[in-house]
Amino acid sequence: EDAIRYKFSPTEDGLYQLTYDEGLGCDLYSEKTGYMVNKYWRGNSKVYYLKEGETYKFDVGNFSQEDEVTEWKFQMTKMSEKTIDADQVVYQEQENEPIYYRFKAKTAGSYLINDGVEVSSMEIFSDSWSSYFGSPIFLDMDGFGRWLTYVSLEQGEEIVLLARGENKSVCVSSVKNVDGFEYIWQVDGTVAIRGYSGEKKDVVIPDEIDGKPVTSILPFAFSGSDIESVVLPSTLKEITRGAFYRSNIESVVLPSTLEKIGENAFRGTKLKEIVIPDSVTDIGAETFCNCASLKKVVIGSGLELIHVGLFENCDSLEEVVIPGNGSVTRIEYDAFSGCTSLSKIALPDTIEFFNPDAGLESTAWYKNLPDEEVYIGKVLYTYKGTVPKGTKVTVKPGTAFINYGAYDGQTGVSEVILPYGLKEIGEYAFVCGDNMKSIVIPASVTWIGWKAVGYKAELSENGNYYDCKKLDDFVIYGQKGTAAEEYAIENGFEFVEKAPFARGDVDLSGKVDISDLRLMLRAVCGKVTLAPDQIAAGDITGSSDPNDADGKITIADLRRLLRFICGKIEAL
> Which pLDDT tens digit goes with each residue over 350-367?
899 999 899 999 999 999
According to DSSP, the residues that pair with 147 across neighbouring strands are 141
Mean pLDDT of 176-180: 94
Q: Is the dihedral of CA 522, 528, 533, 536 positive or negative?
A: positive
Is the predicted pLDDT of residue 171 greater than 50, yes or no?
yes
Neighbours of 275 (CB within 10 A): 13
Q: Is the pTM of this model over 0.85?
A: no
pLDDT of the residue at 186: 84
Q: Is the pLDDT of residue 280 over 80?
A: yes
Percent of the chain with pLDDT over 90: 51
H/E element holding 516? Answer: helix 514-524
Specify the pLDDT at position 284: 94
At 396 the pLDDT is: 87
Q: How confident is the model at residue 234 (pLDDT cuts 50, 70, 90)?
A: very high
Query: What pLDDT score was predicted for residue 346?
Result: 86
The DSSP string of 335-388 is SSTT-TT--EEE--TT--EE-TTS-GGGSHHHHTS-SSEEEETTEEEEE-S-PP
Percent of the chain with pLDDT over 70: 85
Q: How many CA atoms lie within 13 A of 541 on its CB side?
A: 11
CA dist 323 and 226 (Å) reads: 33
| Segment 481-509, tens digit of pLDDT | 999 999 999 999 999 998 777 789 888 77
Task: Identify the band that residue 23 occupies on the pLDDT scale cut at 50, 70 and 90.
Answer: low
Tell me what pLDDT residue 288 has.
Answer: 98
Q: Determine contact, residues 420/441, Cβ cutoff 8 Å.
A: no
Q: Are strands 89-91 and 28-30 parallel, antiparallel or unpaired?
A: unpaired
CA angle 49, 55, 58 (to 5 degrees): 80
Is residue 313 scored above 90 in pLDDT? Answer: yes
